[in-house]
Each structure stands twice: as C-alpha cells, then as structure tokens.
C-alpha cells in the first residue's frame, strides 16, 4: 500500500518576487523603508480621496513594472513541485500573478490580496485590464478615469484599510487546517489576517518551514528556518521535498 502523500500549503509574500525586480514592502530595501509616505498609495482612503495620491500611485505602478516581470527560480521551483505530483496549494499575499506565469495551475493558487492584473471602477464596478490603464498613463493621462462612467480606477487588490474577502480567507484557513506541511516563503508574517495562517496550520498538526531573510514572529514555532536567498533556498527545499526528506 502506498503511503499517504503529504498535503503541502505554501504561503508566499513579497520576498519571493524581489528577484523578479518587484520590490518588497518591509525588507531592508523595501518600499516602506525607502519612502514611508508611499504606504498612502495603497491605502484605500487616501487613494480614493486624493487625485495626487492616485497620480503618484500610477507612476509607482509604472516604475515597479510588475505587469512585465518574469517568474524567478523560486516561482519555477514551486511549479516543479506541483508537477512532481504532490498535493499543493499556494496561498499568496502577492498580487503580481507570477505563480500562474510560472506554470502553476490557476486553481491551485489562492490570491489572498487580489490581483494587480486588472482594475475596477470604484463607482460603477466595471473591470478592465491593468495593462490598458497603464498604456493610458504612458500616453499622458496621469489619473486615468473609468471609460464607462468617469469614476476612479483602482487595482483589483485588497488595499490597506479594506478587509480580505471572507470566502477567500475561509478557503485559506481550510487549506491551512488540512495540510501536513506549511511553508512560508518571503513573508514578514506581520499582515493579518493572512499572517495567522501558519499558526492555524501548526495548531492543526502541520510541520512549519519558514524561508525568509529576516526574523518573523513564527520562527520559534517552525521546525526549520531558512535564511538563504529565496532563488537558491526554494529550489533546494523543493528537491528535498520531492526526495521525501
């Protein structure tokens, strides 16, 4: 009789995408450390109320270039883990879509904070592609409005000041409760309620591995803490998991 294959939950934060050229928020070179005022650009109140905040936010999106970023070795390794046949679900705090671009099936990726690939009108609710809005900014519009009603365009992400979708959060908690191994990669594990998921997993009996450059609040609960750079650490960890270690 074959042994039960372990169910693996992988939670990823901004740190997994820095090697793709997308800066994180709280790391040593993070956006908030470089410019604390930049947090306004992804906070719903200031964003909706202040045209200047929106203009700066659009320029930040162009500068970061997440829409053109490519998956790095960390993303590709997780796709390889999925192809290895182990049951895996990726719970990502990121909005860059790089897990899907790496080859992970979309239904195995739960985007906790939404997606930056699309924009939504705060007025009429109509959605369109982020790339189209960025093309308008490149062409000279500093705060592109909804083409349907003239309302404020915002990314289809969970901004600061908003709550996570209760359905998405419930699915993430169910995955955390069911998994045998929970791997947290590139997350400060400080943004709640998503940051509570490792604790849910550990309390349900899962083994926890933390891969992050800086200490996290959950390091003491982890069976293993890995500090090596993510593009090297994640492929090495995936090889060990596929080998049954």
Task: Identify any residues that bridge with 11 across adjacent strands, giving them in sequence order.
Answer: 91, 184
- Catalytic member of 67, 99, 107, 113: 113
Q: Which residues of 106-124 are buried (b: 16+ CB within 10 A; e: fewer)?
A: eebbbbbbbebbbbbbeee
Neighbours of 129 (CB within 10 A): 12
Q: How do 207-211 and 224-226 pair as beta strands? A: parallel
Q: How do 181-185 and 8-12 pair as beta strands? A: parallel
Is 113 a known active-site residue? yes
The answer to whether 130 and 64 have CB atoms below 8 angstroms apart is: no
Give the strands of the sheet with 153-157, arranged side by side: 127-129, 114-121, 153-157
Task: Identify any residues that bridge with 183 across adjacent strands, giving them in sequence order.
Answer: 10, 209
**What DSSP assignment string belongs to 11-25?**
EE-GGGTGGGT---S
Q: Is 81 exposed, middle or buried (0-12, 13-18, 19+ CB in 10 A)?
A: buried
- In this structure, what are the phi and psi dihedrals at residue 216, rounded to the nearest 5 degrees? -125, 165
Any idea which residues carry the catalytic annotation? 113
């Amino acid at each position: 009789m074959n042994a039960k294959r372990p169910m693996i939950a992988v939670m990823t934060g901004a740190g997994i995408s820095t090697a793709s050229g997308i800066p994180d928020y709280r790391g040593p070179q993070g956006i908030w450390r470089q410019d604390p005022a930049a947090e306004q650009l992804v906070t719903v109140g200031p964003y909706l109320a202040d045209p200047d905040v929106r203009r700066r936010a659009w320029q930040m999106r162009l500068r970061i270039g997440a829409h053109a970023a490519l998956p790095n070795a960390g993303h590709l390794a997780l796709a390889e883990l999925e192809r290895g046949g182990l049951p895996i679900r990726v719970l990502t705090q990121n909005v860059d879509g790089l897990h899907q671009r790496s080859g992970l099936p979309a239904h195995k990726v739960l985007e906790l904070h939404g997606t930056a690939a699309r924009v939504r009108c705060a007025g009429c609710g109509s959605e369109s592609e982020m790339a189209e809005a960025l093309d308008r900014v490149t062409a000279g519009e500093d705060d592109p409005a909804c083409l349907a009603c003239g309302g404020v365009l915002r990314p289809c992400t969970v901004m600061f000041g908003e709550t996570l979708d209760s359905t998405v959060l419930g699915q993430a908690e169910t995955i955390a409760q069911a998994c045998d191994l929970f791997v947290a990669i590139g997350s400060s594990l400080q943004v709640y309620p998503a940051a509570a998921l490792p604790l849910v997993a550990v309390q349900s009996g899962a083994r926890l591995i933390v891969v992050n450059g800086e200490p996290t609040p959950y390091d003491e609960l982890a069976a293993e803490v890995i500090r090596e750079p993510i593009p090297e650490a994640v492929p090495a960890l995936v090889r060990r998991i596929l080998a049954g270690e």
